[in-house]
Amino acid sequence: MNEKSYKSTCCYCGVGCGILIKEKSNGQILVEGDKDHPVNRGMLCSKGMNLHYTVMDKSDRLLYPQMRFNRNMPLEQVSWDAALDRTAAIFKTFIAKYGPESVGFYVSGQCLTEEYYLWNKLMKGFIGANNIDTNSRLCMSSAVVGYKLSLGEDAVPVCYDDIELSDVILVEGANPAWCHPIIWRRVEAHKVANPHVKIIVVDPRKTQTVASGDLHLDINPGTDVALNYAIARVLIETGKIDAEFIENHTEGIEAFKEKVFEKTVSEYAKICGVELQKIKTAAKWIGQSKGFLSMWTMGLNQSVIGVNKNLSLINLSLITGKIGKPGNGPFSLTGQPNAMGGREVGGLANMLASHRDYANPVHRNEMQAFWGGGAISEKPGLTATEMFQALADGKMKAIWIVCTNPLVSMPDANMIERALKNAKLVVVQDVSSKSDTTKFADIVLPAAAWTEKDGTMTNAERRISYLNKVVDAPGNALPDTEIICRFTEKMGWGDKFSYNKTEDIYKEYIKTTENTNIDVSGLDFEKLQNFGTVQWPFTKKMSTDESSIGTERLFTDHSFYTASKKARIHSVPFQNQSEQISGDFPLILITGRIRDQWHTMTKTGKVNKLNQHINQPYVEMNPLDAKERGISDGQVVMVTGTRGEAKVKVILTNDLKKGNCFMPMHWGKILNQNFGRANNLTNSLVDPRSKEPDFKYAVVEISKY
């Protein structure tokens, strides 16, 4: 049977695995790992392997625009013109009456780069506010601030090939065995081939990643900075720091030494709840290593002190000089497939295209002149949690939600529900009718899904890939770029959003990168199609070398992107700022992901094979805590916090310490009951600099139901 084959990239996590999509002559779609792809070399995890089911199964797809004038009425099918005319009319009214800050876009790390670029251009360059934020705020923003403060730019310095060049890998606040599986398979294969390689895992839970590690630092939640200081202190005391590198390429060592010497290693060990000897062993391995990679994700990022946690971990690479060399460096594992691409085009409330800063008047003027719209506001845009709070308070009137399901994924979900109820206009643009947020929509816009549109994404190692369009979108669904352009016509800005094809948008974007640290001005779709993927920067000069595929590793000359060209070693407080346990709420709830589900399950939840792994929400609890409460394994319990409750089945396990419990974040309300929605319990505390929520630390009580 004839078949066509298209290259693409997996649309789930930030690993960015290469995929071959095969379309048979009968229309059937098959998906397999791309053996030539430098990231996954043909491998796919359970989610990637089952992607074709999500492409073929259209049963839940939104097929046409819908609208209603009253939320007590059902949504009714309308034309694209009717839906966008009304959206534009309401946007114009609110902007005229309450100012441009009264409207906002809440978009997604799953949007393609070109889509992100247009949302950003529309809000900042034309509507005149900076109210565009993304669910990447819930994911990577602490790492972004950490990189900027220490290295001078939101720039991941390493590449996946550094895995095989390392001999010590420190995984902190991450469970890549489940959440970044292909990375982890590469780590495991490296360890099998090189048994001397040491894997250290820092996690309050005994995860699957811990199971394949050499050393588990079973930290108390929220104490990562203290742990990193303990390791740093041992490295300093044993002379395992790189004095020459520190002297020539960093700033801040004296203040840092003073800071880490505020406590003894034993005192830090007590704070962290980790055996002293384990900390010393970790420090010894790191100090002796030739290649030291640190990997982290939400355990550090999703914290009220997320930036401090990031800085304290990056410091370990800086004081040992283990950065900018093969096999060495800090490596944030991106959660979503295109969180990095979104940041490149400025798709967050506090940045402009090509990592420009909205607060910098020179940067604002550059982008204003480039876009040819109105003045770019100097007021900070509202970040994810701030946007929903502003809707709840009535300060923001309209929100346009794109490719994300905040009713399940945002912290303090009951507050999000109040915010959406209070909003004067909720536009939901999505692929699936199963998104819980649609219940609050006044206008629903059907979007094209993965394989139904083309564009680019950037994975966790700065690798840009081109995703082919394979099939047409069902019904009247449209690619996001076309929806945006049609909307701008209704707003009167159509001439500034006139593109014949997706590549025209990319070409416009790459002009903004010229001479920046993320310069990709040498790139075009043809190059991506010919070479598959390219790592940024990729300048015009590099494009003259036909074999160049970009920059695999940054800072190899030890010149950083700070003004002084030196990396900055930061001295931050080690104390946690999360809410405190009390007599009423004595347990710490950690939330996270499970192996076979993605986000709020609108895609993975459709696949029977994936549901077979774990098919219902649950809370994990230590048997000692359960005994004190007369709770037995498998019972239905109520998890209660100050903001809400969730009824779930309990799993008793010694995989977490007494005093801690764990719930997966994927489930929303089931049958409209508070069954299993973990974010009923999480809180809106955010890191003051990254504005990333404290998802990994909420105080709760668990009782028999």
Of residues 407 and 594, the one with the C-beta less far from ligand SF4:
594
Provide, rounded to whole angstroms, the least separation between the CB of residue 464 and ligand SF4.
15
Per CB under 6 A, 339 contacts ligand SF4: no
Least Cβ distance, residue 296 to ligand SF4 (angstroms) = 17
Contact region with ligand SF4 (CB under 6 A), list: 39-47, 203-211, 224-232, 430-438: 39-47
Q: Please identify, using beta-carbon distances, which residue of 16 and 373 lies nearer to ligand SF4.
A: 16
Looking at the Cβ atoms of 37 and 691, the one nearer to ligand SF4 is: 37
Among residues 10 and 590, whose Cβ is nearest to ligand SF4? 10
Distance of closest approach, residue 341 Cβ to ligand SF4, in angstroms? 14
Joined together, the tokens standing for residue 38 give 């430098």
Q: Give the residue among 409, 412, 367 at the shortest CA–CA distance from 392.
A: 412
* Distance of closest approach, residue 437 Cβ to ligand SF4, in angstroms: 23
15 binds ligand SF4 (CB under 6 A): yes
Count of residues that interact with ligand SF4, criterion CB under 6 A: 14
At which residue do the structure tokens 């903001």 appear?
643
At which residue do the structure tokens 């990447």 appear? 136
Q: H-helix or E-strand containing 30?
A: strand 29-33
Residue 384 CA to its chain's centroid (Å): 13
Q: Tell me how far, at minimum, the Cβ of 597 lies from ligand SF4, in Å.
A: 11
What mask, x for binding ligand SF4 by CB under 6 A, covers residues 364 to 393? ------------------------------
Question: Which DSSP symbol is given to 125?
Answer: I
Q: How far is the CB of 173 from ligand SF4 (least distance, A)?
A: 18
Q: Which of 104, 181, 252, 330 binds ligand SF4 (CB under 6 A)?
A: 181
Q: Which stretch, 15-23, 431-439, 633-641, 690-698, contacts ligand SF4 (CB under 6 A)?
A: 15-23
How far apart CA 507 and CA 16 sit, in angstroms, is 22
Q: How far from 609 is each of 171, 245, 412, 470, 613, CA to CA, in Å?
A: 29, 51, 31, 24, 8
| Residue 80 amino acid letter | W
SS3 at position 412: coil
Residue placing its CB nearer to ligand SF4 in the complex, 50 or 578 = 50
Scanning 75-83, 180-188, 303-311, 670-678 for contacts with ligand SF4 by CB under 6 A, the matching segment is 180-188
Q: How far is the CB of 39 from ligand SF4 (least distance, A)?
A: 8
Output DSSP code: residue 75.
Answer: P
| Least spacing, CB of residue 598 vs ligand SF4, in Å | 7
Choosing from 7, 13, 213, 538, the residue that interacts with ligand SF4 (CB under 6 A) is 13
> Is-contact 416 410, C-beta < 8 A?
yes
Q: How far is CA 489 from the centre of its chain?
A: 32
Count Cα atoms within 13 angstroms, Cβ side, for 451.
24
Instruction: Please pick, from the candidates 8, 21, 37, 48, the single residue that binds ligand SF4 as defined by CB under 6 A.
Output: 48
Asked if 162 contacts 327 with a C-beta cutoff of 8 angstroms, the reply is yes
Work out which of 31, 44, 316, 416 binds ligand SF4, going by CB under 6 A.
44
Strands (E), 595-658: 618-621, 636-640, 645-652
Is residue 286 part of the contact set for ligand SF4 (CB under 6 A)?
no
d(CA 155, CA 22): 34
Distance CA 494, CA 484 (A): 10
- Residue among 596 and 692 whose Cβ is closer to ligand SF4: 596
C-beta of residue 379 within 8 angstroms of C-beta of residue 364: no
User: Which range touches ligand SF4 (CB under 6 A), out of 10-18, 128-136, 188-196, 495-503?
Assistant: 10-18
DSSP category for residue 335: S
Nearer to ligand SF4, 182 or 572 (CB): 182
Q: Rule CB under 6 A: is residue 47 a binding residue for ligand SF4? A: yes
In the chain, % helix, strand, coil (3-state, to 5) comes to 35, 20, 45
Q: Is 182 in the site for ligand SF4 (CB under 6 A)?
A: yes
Site for ligand SF4 in 423-462 (CB under 6 A): none
Q: How far is the CB of 410 from ligand SF4 (least distance, A)?
A: 22
**C-alpha R_g of the chain:** 24
Smallest distance from ligand SF4 to CB 32, Å: 11
- Indicate the SS3 state at residue 563: coil
Give SS3 for 564: coil
Backbone angles phi, psi at 641, to 5 degrees: -135, -170
Amino acid letter for position 434: K
Closer CB to ligand SF4, 11 or 151, in the complex: 11
DSSP 423: -
* Spatial separation of the C-alpha atoms in residues 287 and 238, rounded to whole Å: 9
Dmax over CA atoms of the chain, in Å, equals: 71
Q: How far is the CB of 11 from ligand SF4 (least distance, A)?
A: 8
Taking CB positions, which residue lies at the least distance from ligand SF4?
Answer: 48
Q: Which stretch binds ligand SF4 (CB under 6 A): 7-15, 23-31, 204-212, 413-421?
A: 7-15
Count H helices, E strands: the chain? 26, 28
Applying CB under 6 A, the span of 175-183, 480-488, 681-689, 694-702 interacting with ligand SF4 comes to: 175-183
**Residue 12, interface with ligand SF4 (CB under 6 A)?**
yes
Which stretches within 212-288 are classed as H helix? 224-237, 243-249, 253-260, 265-272, 276-288
Query: What DSSP string describes 432-470?
Result: BTT-GGGGG-SEEEEB--TTSS-EEEE-TTSEEEEE---
Report the nearest approach of ligand SF4 to the CB of residue 16 (Å): 6
Residue closer to ligand SF4, measured from CB, 17 or 241:
17
Q: Figure out which of the listed residues 21, 31, 45, 470 binds ligand SF4, where binding follows CB under 6 A.
A: 45
Q: Name the one residue in this structure whose structure tokens are 């914290």.
A: 303
Smallest separation (angstroms) from ligand SF4 to the CB of 6: 16
In the complex with ligand SF4, which residue's Cβ is closer, 367 or 528?
A: 528
Indicate the residue among 35 and 627 with the shorter CB distance to ligand SF4: 35
Contact residues: ligand SF4, CB under 6 A: 10, 12-13, 15-17, 40, 44-45, 47-48, 180-182
